Chain A
Amino acid sequence: MNDFTIWDMAQGLLLSARWTVLLSLIAFVGGGLVGGLLLVLRLSAGAKVQAMIRLYSEIFQGTPLLMQLFLGFFGLPMLGIEVSPWLAASVTLTLYTGAYLVDIWRGCVEAIPRGQWQAAASLGMSHGQQLRLVIWPQAMRIATAPTVGFLVQVVKSTALASIIGFTELTKAGSMLTNAVFQPFIIYSMVAALYFAMCFPLTWYSRVLERKQGLALKR
């Protein structure tokens, strides 16, 4: 049974890391869309809608992602939707990511001084125009660093999809361990691969933060 070389194992893990990358991208793009949409609603809609959006991010941030995945995987079939681990993981991680991003981005929008809104309003812009043309370009600058930083958390959270049977990097590591009984080497390699994916993002987010700090100091 032990005729796998280290290279064979690394290759298998590397191939499965594709699915981690893909799932992270789905979660991030989907979560970005959800977060963006909710942000606009949060800034424009009535008190009731705002309260609902607050409740949504409170629930997704206050409960374990693992539970959310279980609910997605076992809950959606109850609604008559046939789900694969793929679909359950994608939907759940999208909602999870959206719940955090809406909060992060809202903080960035709120960091823009009130006077900017008022100045834009005094130029005769509609609420939508104020947000799109004046506030958002400024907020986006502040938002890039924390958003890239949060992407690290998204990549790490995809590891939980392994528990509902989605074969990504962590799951591949467990399966390989069961086949070749070398958990120390395999989990070290799994960790190294995650590190290789996450560290550049962490580093880039830090560079952005420093740049922004310099810009604010000027």
Chain B
Amino acid sequence: MSYAFDFSDLSQYADVLLHGVVVTLGLTGVSTVLGGALGVVGAALVLRGPAWLRWLIAAYIELIRNTPFIVQLFFVFFGLPSLGIQMGEIEAALLAMTVNLAAYAIEIVRAGIESVKHGQYQAALSLGLSGRQAFRYVVLPQALAAVFPALLSQVMIVMLGSAVVSQISVQDLTYAANFIQSRNFRSFECYIAITAIYLVMAILLRRLCNGLGSGLFAGQKR
């Protein structure tokens, strides 16, 4: 092998790379907040809601879990406009990522709620809390503490999966990779560098969230 690696001119694209990192992290952050909130609401509805709604949510979860993210993304970006629902590429990416994450989050949070012993709920009621308060202040915090690692790894999957939003021309980190290699023709180096950035981001984010989790759920250890 006589290939000479040359990473030297990557530094001149620092601003492109930084922009890509910001977009990727931003998309992940927003879809995590929205998807997580939907996950909690969805899980509560699956456990307590009317039968037709449960059935609807179950169908939604199966549909999302059994189709590739890229097809969901293309459906949102290319398919929905023919129903008159127009949106930009960032909105489409956010919508697809949120809808995707929420489906998994509902399943995860539901499992967490089911893992909390029923006595906890009854004890909260006996202290005079309403059903809603018991769920909000007693059951939910324990449930989230139990499933935090699972939720976190799902967020990681969404972040890594978000690389495909470059295909609908969102200017994320992968888009930056394609942009740079089309300028300097050093595709191998460029993809190696960007892959390394993704890896570092994944590792740092996991560290950060683990720290956040143990702070947030201190005293919830069972």
B65 neighbours in A (Cβ, 8 Å): 152, 198, 202
Instruction: Decide: A71 near B188, CB < 8 A? Known: A170-B68, A170-B71.
Output: yes
B78 neighbours in A (Cβ, 8 Å): 177, 183, 187
Roughly how many angstroms separate A190 CA and B195 CA in the complex, as a whole number? Answer: 29
Looking at B12-20, B114-122, B157-165, the stretch in contact with chain A turns out to be B157-165
Roughly how many angstroms separate A159 CA and B161 CA in the complex, as a whole number? Answer: 12
A194 neighbours in B (Cβ, 8 Å): 66-68, 71
Q: In the complex, what's the smallest C-beta–C-beta distance from A185 to chain B, in angstroms?
A: 8
A79 neighbours in B (Cβ, 8 Å): 1, 3
Please tell me if A162 contacts chain B, counting CB pairs below 8 Å.
yes
Please tell me if A78 contacts chain B, counting CB pairs below 8 Å.
yes
Q: In the complex, what's the smallest C-beta–C-beta distance from A107 to chain B, in angstroms?
A: 14
Please tell me if B70 contacts chain A, counting CB pairs below 8 Å.
yes
Per DSSP, are chain B's interface residues mostly helix, strand or loop, or mixed?
Answer: helix
- In the bound complex, do residue B174 and residue A202 qualify as a contact, i.e. CB atoms below 8 Å apart? no
- In the bound complex, do residue B79 and residue A183 qualify as a contact, i.e. CB atoms below 8 Å apart? yes
Per DSSP, are chain A's interface residues mostly helix, strand or loop, or mixed?
Answer: helix
Roughly how many angstroms separate A75 CA and B194 CA in the complex, as a whole number? Answer: 14
B195 neighbours in A (Cβ, 8 Å): 63-64, 67-68, 71
Q: Which of A52-77 contact B (CB under 8 A)?
A: 59, 62-68, 70-71, 74-75
Please tell me if B199 contacts chain A, counting CB pairs below 8 Å.
yes
Partner of A173, one of B63, B71, B194: B71
Please tell me if B179 contacts chain A, counting CB pairs below 8 Å.
no
A80 neighbours in B (Cβ, 8 Å): 1
* Chain A 34-51: CB-based contact to B (< 8 A → 1; otherwise 0): 000000000000000000
User: Which residue of chain A lies nearest to B73 when distances are taken between CB atoms in the complex?
Assistant: A187
- In the bound complex, do residue B194 and residue A184 qualify as a contact, i.e. CB atoms below 8 Å apart? no
- In the bound complex, do residue B71 and residue A190 qualify as a contact, i.e. CB atoms below 8 Å apart? yes
Please tell me if A10 contacts chain B, counting CB pairs below 8 Å.
no
B154 neighbours in A (Cβ, 8 Å): none
Q: Which of B66-97 contact A (CB under 8 A)?
A: 66-72, 74-75, 78-83
Please tell me if B180 contacts chain A, counting CB pairs below 8 Å.
no
User: Which residue of chain B lies nearest to A20 when distances are taken between CB atoms in the complex?
Assistant: B68
Q: In the complex, what's the smallest C-beta–C-beta distance from B23 to chain A, in angstroms?
A: 14
Please tell me if A195 contacts chain B, counting CB pairs below 8 Å.
yes
- In the bound complex, do residue B62 and residue A199 qualify as a contact, i.e. CB atoms below 8 Å apart? yes
Q: In the complex, what's the smallest C-beta–C-beta distance from A207 to chain B, in angstroms?
A: 15
6 additional contacts (CB under 8 A) given A163-B70, A183-B74, A187-B78? A62-B160, A67-B191, A152-B65, A174-B74, A184-B79, A187-B79
Binding site for B on A (CB under 8 A): 59, 62-68, 70-71, 74-75, 78-80, 152, 156-157, 159-160, 162-163, 170, 173-174, 177, 182-184, 186-188, 190-191, 194-195, 198-199, 202
Pick 10 A–B contacts, CB within 8 A, sort by A. A64-B162, A66-B166, A67-B195, A70-B187, A80-B1, A160-B70, A163-B70, A174-B74, A187-B74, A198-B67
Q: Which 10 pairs, one residue from A and one from B, show the smallest C-beta to C-beta distance?
A: A64-B163, A159-B68, A198-B66, A183-B78, A156-B68, A66-B163, A187-B75, A184-B79, A74-B187, A62-B202
